[in-house]
Amino acid sequence: MEQYKLFIDGEFVDAASGETFESIDPGSGMPIAQVAKAGAADAEAAIDAARRAFDSGIWSGLTPAQRADKLNAFADQITQQTLRMAITESMDSGQIIGLAKYWGMLGSQMLRNFGHYAATRFPWQEEIPYAGNVFAPGRDYIRREPIGVCVGIIPWNFPMSMAFWKIGQAIAMGNTIVLKPASSTPLGALIIAEAAKAAGIPKGVVNVIAGPGGDIGHTLCTHPSVDKIAFTGSTEVGRQIMKMAADTVKKVTLELGGKSANIICEDADIDLAVEGALFGTFFHQGQVCESGTRVLVASKIYDEFLDKMKGRAEQLRVGYQLDPASQQGPLVNATQLATVERYVRLGQEEGAQVVAGGRRAEVAGLDGGFYYKPTIFGGVKNSMRVAQEEIFGPVVCVIKYDGEEEAVALANDSIYGLAGGVFSRSNARAERIARQIKTGTMWVNNYHSFGDFCPFGGYKQSGVGRELGHAGLAEYTQIKRMHFPASADHKSNFTMKLFSDDPKVPFVQYITPTLVLAGHGSLSSIYREVVRLGSRRAMILTDAGVRKAGLIEPVQEALAEFYAGIFDDISQDTDLATVDAAVALAREKGIDIIVSVGGGSVIDTGKAVCVTLKNGGKADDHVALMRLSEPQIPHIVIPTTSGTGSEVTNVAVIKSGSAGRKVYIIDNYITPNTAILDPQFTLTLPPGLTVTTALDAMTHAVESLTSTMSNPICDGHALQAIRLIRQNLPTAVADGRDEQARGNLQIAATTAGWAFNIAQVGLAHAMAHTLGMLCNVPHGAACGIVLPAVMRYNVDHATDKLALAAQALGVSIGALAPRDAAMAAADAVEQLMKACGHPMRLKEVGVTEEALAMAPFHAIADAAALFNARPVSDPNEIAELYKQVF
Ligand SMILES: NC(=O)c1ccc[n+]([C@@H]2O[C@H](COP(=O)([O-])OP(=O)(O)OC[C@H]3O[C@@H](n4cnc5c(N)ncnc54)[C@H](O)[C@@H]3O)[C@@H](O)[C@H]2O)c1
């Protein structure tokens, strides 16, 4: 008789106890091999070896490509053993030789496939383009690493196949493994271990120990050195394994039992369906977890189907597994035979009718074999135990149903969900049914078809996790997120700031993707810009006021044949519905570039249109911060007011009806490609709007200068913007046609835009957004009215910065104490506003006292308040500010 030993740490060894057991040929009942019987000590030795091998890096430290080379060598050794493997597997497990002969070929292919996938396709490292956290700029990526020491525990039905699955996946992904085959069928895995050794897989990487699960299972599932357990077997044992693994919180994947439904529709090709049901059930004597053991048949064809299936079942040839003529071999052992007999008796007691089989099969000269006839139960109710419990033998329940809905309900009425089938001539119908079944695999007009890259696993009590394919291989890895902050400086760290009394964030990031063309006649560059951006069909976005001011015709003319449409229905403080309407028109006209001509409302609409046009769907789908990963539809902007700065910022601010407030799209990819600052476009801006929009730019400049995020690049832009507004606004108000003043105000708006793109804004914006939302106050006017009050509120938190602002506003601060100099900045803004006719009180712009009741709460919750120099948290303080300017 052949002798098999345990394979531990690269050597074939006897069990520590010296004990052995016999492996039986189930076709004859005769022993065929003597096998070393592992106990707890051997399990520990194998785990220790696997741990040492893993930790040494001899395998886990190789590149996936280096491991793939070794797996190819392993596969070659398997190929050399194909004949021996076929005969041994057949004799050991009872598989007919017609099936067992394939394992050498399939196993070697699997090793090659897993190695190759791991080396060439598996995403071991993946950049995360945007972390989804605006407060954590930097680099983030995912690294996948081997999990460690894996334990594979496998059943007796497909000993070699299961050993290839567990060993192949574990080692392709860089792990080490201790494999425990079933004690009824230990030989296949030990032959695979021989091949691993011959192929030079380093010692300790693969270990195989045979023995009773009851004895060594406990050690394997509780040992602290084991990181993962991959178990295939019964649901009952799976539950125990999960419990045992719980104490050391091992990763566990379980492939458990099933009672899968094979649904035969009334339009099925009946001969195909009969063969599918037959193969789906009696393949390997029904000792297959994913078998379709509940055949659900449409009532219209039930009788004909049952009749045909009975005929075919009775034709199946039961015989010795090595006889090439056999289609059914023996069951694996006497215990399994007894289980099948018990269930067949039970089914009869429950009222099911034995249509075929129902008793042992005799095979001449092999009285000791465990043979049973393919057995069909008709008239089965799904509630019967034979239809609910896994029998794991050649017994099928045929159940009648009326209508698809009942078929789906019956299929899902099970604690299991491993697999299933649908037979129908209509793929659409089959798919409709298959999608409704709660199960891990559905075959249409087929059964038992596997692929190395097709995931396998269970819903419900059929298991946890998946095997095979990407999903299966990923189960053998850990995910590590790697993060590097954009600057390694605790003061730039937003999160650590929570523990700091100094809210200043000196983080510097300066992105200016916008090409700015400024000056008289700069509109003439627009044609060249469209060409440069690779576009041909431009749509102008604007609003009625801008159109009425006669600013659109020159743009149309300059665009010449690129002009392809116009959308002008944009109200002040635009909303998502407006964006959707503009997108609809752009889609209709095949637009590939947007030209926004107007103030912030138009430009922000344009940004959202570019995103929606590029990515599809509705504007609301794209309300997100830092989510885009590629350039959007090109966008040229021509600002026509004295200042939102939107032409160079990465923000679009848009009202959302459903959110009841303004929402933001913030992303570097929405920053416009080109800004044309042609003063001709602002000459028509009435004095009122000239002032309020300029005060929007002023607010950007002051708030970014004083924000917790300000830095020297921002400060330079902000101070220059403040200076330009102070110097040019009175002139532009007095003489709207003064081109130089107009041009300087445009440059101020753009410069202030850059400043707040770097450093964000603050409380004045939070309060202004709220006024826009609750009382429809135009954004610029609201900003201006609250700005001086907010500057005074911040005076002790941004004293130096406000003093610099005072200087830029023309105040001579030399003789002033710092705090007085800072206060002087607020006074100077107020004077400028008064001199230019800006509204000074909220009641002047239609705000009522009642409307202000909720305003402080909204303002505190507005994101802009986060960056204010002085922390904003007390609604009473904010209410007081609103009162001051009411
Ligand atoms: N994305 C950003 O970076 C950013 C920055 C600040 C503000 N905003 C947003 O911008 C919007 C406010 O923009 P806005 O203040 O520019 O106002 P706006 O775009 O709403 O325009 C105001 C009015 O001015 C008229 N107008 C514009 N130019 C004209 C001209 N040359 N001649 C005659 N009339 C003209 C328009 O027809 C409109 O009626 C707000 O929704 C605000 O939230 C966005």
275-284 pLDDT per residue, tens:
999 999 999 9
Please give the distance, rounded to the nearest whole angstrom, from the Cα atom of residue 776 to the centre of ligand 1. 13
- Encode pLDDT of 148-158 as tens digits: 999 999 999 99
Atom nearest to 757 CA in ligand 1: 3
Nearest CA to ligand 1 atom 19: 599
DSSP state of 712: H
Which strands make up the sheet holding 206-208, listed edge to edge?
Answer: 11-13, 6-8, 206-208, 176-180, 149-153, 228-232, 251-255, 463-464
Atom nearest to 681 CA in ligand 1: 31
> Is 255 assigned a catalytic role?
yes
- Encode pLDDT of 42-59 as tens digits: 999 999 999 999 999 999
Mean pLDDT of the region 305-329: 98
Atom nearest to 653 CA in ligand 1: 43
Residue 506 has pLDDT above 90, yes or no: no
Nearest CA to ligand 1 atom 4: 646
Q: HSE (CB half, 13 Å, CA atoms) of 682?
A: 38
Residue 1 has pLDDT above 90, yes or no: no
Q: Which of 255, 266, 467, 647 is labelled catalytic?
A: 255
Atom nearest to 683 CA in ligand 1: 31
Q: Which of 126-135, 556-565, 688-697 has the lowest mean pLDDT?
A: 126-135
Q: What is the pLDDT of residue 250?
A: 98
Mean pLDDT of the region 702-708: 97
Residue 131 has pLDDT above 90, yes or no: no
Please give the distance, rounded to the nearest whole angstrom, from the Cα atom of residue 696 to the centre of ligand 1. 10
Please give the distance, rounded to the nearest whole angstrom, from the Cα atom of residue 572 to the centre of ligand 1. 7
Atom nearest to 573 CA in ligand 1: 41
Residue 344 has pLDDT above 90, yes or no: yes
Please give the distance, rounded to the nearest whole angstrom, from the Cα atom of residue 705 to the centre of ligand 1. 22
Q: What is the pLDDT of residue 503?
A: 79
Q: What is the pLDDT of residue 392?
A: 97
Mean pLDDT of the chain: 96
Atom nearest to 652 CA in ligand 1: 1
Distance, CA of 350 to chain centre: 48
Residue 491 has pLDDT above 90, yes or no: no
By most ligand atoms within 8 Å of CB, the mutation choice from 604, 647, 664 for ligand 1 is: 604
Alpha-carbon distance values, 455 to 173, 233, 587 (Å): 16, 17, 40
- Angle (CA) 145-148-151 rounded to 5° is 135
Mean pLDDT of the region 417-443: 98
Atom nearest to 649 CA in ligand 1: 3
> Rounded CA gap, 466 and 18, in Å?
37
Please give the distance, rounded to the nearest whole angstrom, from the Cα atom of residue 58 to the centre of ligand 1. 65
Nearest CA to ligand 1 atom 3: 646
Q: Which of 749, 751, 731 is nearest to 741 (CA)?
A: 731
By most ligand atoms within 8 Å of CB, the mutation choice from 647, 771, 779, 862 for ligand 1 is: 779
Task: Work out the pLDDT band at 495, boundaries 50, 70, 90.
Answer: confident
> Rounded CA gap, 466 and 472, in Å?
5
Task: Work out the pLDDT band at 452, boundaries 50, 70, 90.
Answer: very high
By most ligand atoms within 8 Å of CB, the mutation choice from 551, 553, 601 for ligand 1 is: 601
What residue ranges line ligand 1, CB within 6 angstroms? 543, 545-546, 549, 551, 572-573, 598-602, 604, 640-641, 644-646, 649, 651-653, 681-682, 684-685, 689, 693, 696, 779-780
Residue 596 has pLDDT above 90, yes or no: yes
Nearest CA to ligand 1 atom 13: 600
> Rounded CA gap, 124 and 140, in Å?
14
Nearest CA to ligand 1 atom 32: 685
Q: What is the pLDDT of residue 339?
A: 98
Please, what is the angle between helix 687-706 and helix 799-808, to 10°?
A: 140
- CA-atom Rg of the chain in angstroms: 38
Mean pLDDT of the region 331-359: 98
- Encode pLDDT of 784-836 as tens digits: 999 999 999 999 999 999 999 999 999 999 999 999 999 999 999 999 999 99
Nearest CA to ligand 1 atom 30: 685
Higher-confidence residue: 662 or 419?
Answer: 419
Atom nearest to 756 CA in ligand 1: 3
Q: Quick check: 644 and 749 in contact, CB under 8 A?
A: yes
Q: What is the pLDDT of residue 179?
A: 98
Outline where 301-441 has alpha helix (H).
302-315, 334-350, 385-388, 403-412, 427-436
How many percent of the chain have pLDDT more than 90? 92
Please give the distance, rounded to the nearest whole angstrom, from the Cα atom of residue 573 to the centre of ligand 1. 8
In this structure, the strands spanning 251-255 and 353-356 are: unpaired
Nearest CA to ligand 1 atom 10: 600
By most ligand atoms within 8 Å of CB, the mutation choice from 547, 609, 646, 685 for ligand 1 is: 646
By most ligand atoms within 8 Å of CB, the mutation choice from 597, 689, 703, 751 for ligand 1 is: 689
> Rounded CA gap, 686 and 199, in Å?
85
> Is 836 assigned a catalytic role?
no
Q: Which of 254-268, 293-307, 516-530, 762-776 has the lowest mean pLDDT?
A: 762-776
Task: Work out the pLDDT band at 859, boundaries 50, 70, 90.
Answer: very high
732, containing H or E segment: helix 712-734
Q: Which of 150, 221, 265, 289 is labelled catalytic?
A: 289
Residue 213 has pLDDT above 90, yes or no: no
Nearest CA to ligand 1 atom 40: 573
CA dihedral (463, 211, 240, 387) positive or negative: positive
Please give the distance, rounded to the nearest whole angstrom, from the Cα atom of residue 621 to the centre of ligand 1. 24
Q: What is the pLDDT of residue 44?
A: 98
By most ligand atoms within 8 Å of CB, the mutation choice from 640, 690, 845 for ligand 1 is: 640
Nearest CA to ligand 1 atom 17: 599
Mean pLDDT of the region 369-387: 98
Residue 617 makes CB contacts below 8 A (sequence gap 6+) with none
Dig out the tokens for 690 from the structure. Answer: 């000239």
Please give the distance, rounded to the nearest whole angstrom, from the Cα atom of residue 688 to the centre of ligand 1. 12
Q: What is the pLDDT of residue 782?
A: 96
Please give the distance, rounded to the nearest whole angstrom, from the Cα atom of residue 153 to the centre of ligand 1. 69
- Encode pLDDT of 630-662 as tens digits: 999 999 999 999 989 999 999 999 999 888 778
Nearest CA to ligand 1 atom 21: 599
Please give the distance, rounded to the nearest whole angstrom, from the Cα atom of residue 213 to the centre of ligand 1. 75
Please give the distance, rounded to the nearest whole angstrom, from the Cα atom of residue 758 to the centre of ligand 1. 21
Please give the distance, rounded to the nearest whole angstrom, from the Cα atom of residue 725 to the centre of ligand 1. 17
